[in-house]
């Protein structure tokens, strides 16, 4: 069978090689004639045909060798089967006249066996925790990364920052803060690279209880993922797969409003506000930094939230960020004038951060947000 499969490409390669070699020879003769009359000729067609003929020659050689090996291999295999047949005959018992060996007749068929019992139903396996690999040590802690199923079932990158205290106390369990990104297929720490410095300094100065930061990759399909909060705030807030994987892979406090919060900076701020307003029963605190908000959509999100929990929300902006502070005050007023959980939301505004550069102001705002989240979650617990 192997030999018959190799014969066809062997013949095709041989025919192609002959055709290319003949073409190269004709072009060589044309070039010789042109040289006789001192005319310039193009050598590339001849060289291409010659190279093709050489490649075909190599293929013919290789296929010939493989065909020969297949032939000998087939002979060897048939010999092996003959030996096996002799062994099976040798195992037969004597019983035919003239000393001819006869195979033993098959044993009588026993009573029909009972139908096999159905296999026991195996319960569905619990979700397996993803493996997180270390990718750095920013802010005095450790940064890890893994692929985790998203709300739509497709894998997405998730980064997890562990504070320095995580390694120092192997028995301690920590609250969790989910940080939202605003750029498709990116995590929030790539948009705000100094976020870990702010979190680390807040914990080191004892201004904030250390917590684990989780930064999932923003969904694709739109240039501004946080604009989706107006249409589907629950998709932003209720990320059950993420909570299950993080709780299984790290020493976290049980998911719930006493131990899980959410954070967003600049374009990611609306996502954090939406998550905190939509599911106060899952996130006990939310901090939105330097954001611009769809006031009507977020007020509606807060009004439709579960009635048994009141959202806790910090809206922070630098003192010089007039547009950011104006957006925060409008959202605060809209929530107070709303209905349901929106009217009972505890909304605070921070407007006292001032520094020499915008980067330093953002660092201080992140530190302030970390302090608010840690304090609010500690009170809830």
Residue 261, burial from CB neighbour count under 10 angstroms (0-12, 13-18, 19+): buried
pLDDT of residue 51: 83
- Kind of pairing between the strands at 285-289 and 155-162: unpaired
Asked if 302 and 333 count as a contact pair (C-beta separation under 8 A), the reply is no
Q: Which of 317, 310, 271 is nearest to 290 (CA)?
A: 317
Residue with tokens 């923003």: 218
- pTM (2 d.p.): 0.64
H helices within the chain, ranges in order?
2-36, 44-90, 164-168, 188-191, 195-204, 233-237, 240-249, 269-278, 295-303, 322-336, 358-380
Tokens of 298: 């977020």
Chain centre to alpha carbon of residue 345: 35
CA distance 110 to 97: 29
> Edge-to-edge strand order for the sheet containing 312-318?
133-136, 142-149, 155-162, 212-216, 176-180, 260-265, 285-289, 312-318, 346-353
Mean pLDDT by 10 residues, the chain (381 residues): 62 76 72 52 73 79 72 44 37 38 41 45 46 90 89 84 92 93 87 85 76 88 67 66 91 92 92 90 93 91 84 95 95 92 92 90 91 88 66
């Amino acid at each position: 069978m192997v030999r018959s499969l190799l014969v066809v490409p062997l013949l095709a390669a041989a025919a192609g090689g002959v055709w290319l070699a003949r073409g190269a020879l004709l072009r060589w003769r044309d070039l010789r004639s042109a040289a006789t009359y001192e005319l310039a000729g193009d050598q590339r067609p001849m060289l291409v045909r010659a190279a093709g003929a050489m490649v075909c020659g190599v293929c013919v050689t290789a296929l010939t060798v493989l065909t020969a090996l297949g032939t000998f291999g087939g002979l060897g295999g048939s010999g092996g089967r003959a030996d096996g047949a002799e062994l099976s005959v040798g195992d037969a018992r004597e019983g035919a006249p003239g000393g001819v060996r006869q195979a033993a007749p098959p044993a009588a068929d026993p009573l029909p066996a009972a139908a096999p019992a159905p296999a026991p139903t195996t319960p569905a396996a619990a979700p397996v925790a993803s493996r997180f690999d270390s990718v750095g040590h920013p802010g005095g802690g450790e940064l890890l990364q893994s692929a985790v199923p998203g709300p739509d079932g497709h894998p997405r990158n998730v980064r997890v920052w562990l504070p320095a205290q995580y390694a120092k106390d192997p028995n301690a369990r920590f609250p969790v803060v989910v940080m939202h990104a605003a750029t498709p297929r990116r995590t929030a720490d790539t948009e705000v690279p100094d976020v870990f410095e702010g979190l680390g300094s807040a914990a080191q100065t004892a201004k904030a209880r250390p917590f684990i930061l989780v930064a999932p990759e923003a969904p694709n399909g739109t240039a501004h993922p946080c604009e989706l909060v107006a249409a589907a705030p629950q998709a932003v807030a209720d990320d059950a797969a993420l909570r299950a994987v993080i709780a299984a892979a790290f020493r976290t406090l049980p998911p719930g409003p006493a131990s899980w919060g959410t954070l967003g900076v600049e374009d990611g701020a609306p996502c954090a506000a939406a998550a905190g307003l939509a599911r106060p029963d899952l996130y006990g605190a939310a901090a939105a930094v330097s954001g611009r908000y769809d006031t009507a959509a977020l007020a509606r999100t807060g009004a439709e939230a579960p009635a048994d929990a009141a959202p806790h929300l910090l809206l922070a902006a630098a003192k010089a960020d007039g547009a950011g502070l104006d957006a925060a005050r409008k959202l605060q007023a809209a929530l107070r004038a709303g209905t349901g959980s929106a009217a009972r939301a505890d909304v605070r505004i921070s407007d006292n951060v001032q520094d020499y550069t915008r980067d330093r102001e953002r660092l201080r705002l992140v530190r302030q947000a970390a302090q608010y989240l840690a304090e609010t979650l500690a009170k809830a617990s």
